[in-house]
Amino acid sequence: PASTFSVDLFMSDEQRQSRTLAGCPVTRIGITGLSGAGKSTLITAIINHLENARRGALAEQAGLAAIRHGRWHREIERAFDYDHALTALTGQPPSWPESTRDWSIARLTLDYDRRWYSLRPRRRCLELFDYPGEWLLDLSLLDWSFAEYSAHWTDWLARSPRRAIAPGLLEDLQAIDPAAPVDPEQLASLAGRWSMMLADSRLPPHRLSRNLPGRWLMPGEGFDPDAMPFLPLPSVVAEPSEDYPEGSWGEICQRHFAYYRDRIARPFFESHFGRLDAQVILVDLLGALRSGQSALADMRAALESILEPFRYREGHWLGNLFTRRIRRVAIVATQIDHLLPVDQARLTRLLDSYLFELTQRLAGKDIELRLFAVSAVTAAQPREDARGRPMLVGTEKSSRQKIAFTPPTIPEQMPHDLDLAIDDLPTLAPPAELDRARAFPGRRVDALLDFLIGES
């Protein structure tokens, strides 16, 4: 912790919105992605890079070269647990940091070299706001009515693979008469099947992204999905009504949905989103590629719905929330150390063609959208086998055995129908001998930082 810098423990809303922190200009960056995308590992790597700015790879990056030193502050409310993450990564044996389960803030001060015309060294503050991507997905339901919510889910549940993930669930929901009195036992049982469907959709082999409501999977502190359950009701879609008898399925599900939307999901965006300067969205593209077409389609649809508000014209409250401040958005494919260097470069181009329409639609909207492929902490090294063929070596995560594997070859173009899949990949343990005092081995973390905070 820095002794020269006083950190406010409890910030008022006004302070949260302010562009300075204790007189220091602040850049606030949201970092999110679905569970397992690599948020906590990337944040740990970013802090580590900035702490080691002068010694590490950053020095070669034009925009960041002037950083003399980065200091991390642990005394703020809900500080990102950097100490804990470092202990894991640098332990014997090393393990990955704990995944993000709620929001937290990592705050750093960056001291830059003095400019030739200035007497004092320059200082900037950086806040990394880490939160589950599941919550960001709730952005799409913020302006839905209960009937619209039900319509979306009726459509999704009718299609493969969700239809097979939850056999009979759509039919059972369709059979509910919204005007009939609710049966609490049936509601609890359906809500249980609902949660299981969401959890199964997220996991391999499906790896789907649109698992709304986001807090069913990632509740965060103070939220209990069982306390006010609601389900989409397909039969309200044809005849939406605001007026179901008290105690009916329609009345209860609609009321609980509205509570979730207006009292749980929306306040999160209002209090945190309006103050961000930039947003990083991590995507497990390699994971989606392992699951193939439906995972790729669902992930892209999720990204489109998340970024939709950036296109809204002024006047729409969602648009106001966003466009006021967020100017830079980075979509980042993670864990590319599972690929050979030549395929890492191809993955960036693949991401480009995968999201081509989305980036075109956002072009010229006063938002700079950039795509990256990074590895936060490189855990595999390229080698050649006895016959000179390239492969990767690393340590397998659960067995802790050294393994060599032939990584998949990545094409440069995403097929139009997204019909592309790669073989499974091993799960690796972090490399041995990571040291806090040296920048961790990574790929393109510095380029990402340069985009987010570099001085042009």
Binding region for ligand GDP (CB under 6 A): 33, 35-41, 96-97, 99-100, 334-335, 337, 375-377, 379, 427-428
**By the 8 A CB rule, do 191 and 257 touch?**
no
Q: At its nearest, how many Å lie between ligand GDP and the CB of residue 217? A: 12
H-state helical runs in 175-284: 184-202, 214-217, 235-238, 249-259, 266-272
Which strand ranges, in their side-by-side order, compose the sheet holding 381-384?
381-384, 390-395, 402-405
Q: At its nearest, how many Å lie between ligand GDP and the CB of residue 343? A: 14
Radius of gyration of the chain (CA): 23
Integer angstrom CA distances of residue 70 from 113, 124, 149, 311, 438: 12, 10, 45, 35, 13
* Closer of 38 and 70 to ligand GDP (Cβ): 38
* Closer of 76 and 377 to ligand GDP (Cβ): 377
Q: Which two tokens stand for residue 315?
A: 């006047």
* Closer of 229 and 407 to ligand GDP (Cβ): 407
* Closer of 277 and 284 to ligand GDP (Cβ): 284
> Using alpha carbons only, what angle is made at residue 259 by residues 104 and 183, rounded to the nearest 5 degrees?
120
Which residue has tokens 């091993």? 426
Q: At its nearest, how many Å lie between ligand GDP and the CB of residue 429? A: 8
* Closer of 229 and 430 to ligand GDP (Cβ): 430
Measured distance CA(269)–CA(141) in Å, rounded: 12
Q: At its nearest, how many Å lie between ligand GDP and the CB of residue 332? A: 11
For residue 405, the SS3 value is strand
Q: At its nearest, how many Å lie between ligand GDP and the CB of residue 36? A: 5
Single out the residue of 374, 328, 331 nearest to residue 356, CA to CA: 331
Q: At its nearest, how many Å lie between ligand GDP and the CB of residue 438? A: 16
Q: At its nearest, how many Å lie between ligand GDP and the CB of residue 207? A: 13
* Closer of 40 and 211 to ligand GDP (Cβ): 40
Which residue has tokens 């509910």? 176
The half-sphere exposure of 73 on its side-chain side, counting CA atoms within 13 A, is 23
Side chain identity, residue 266: R
* Closer of 327 and 438 to ligand GDP (Cβ): 438
Measured distance CA(218)–CA(263) in Å, rounded: 16
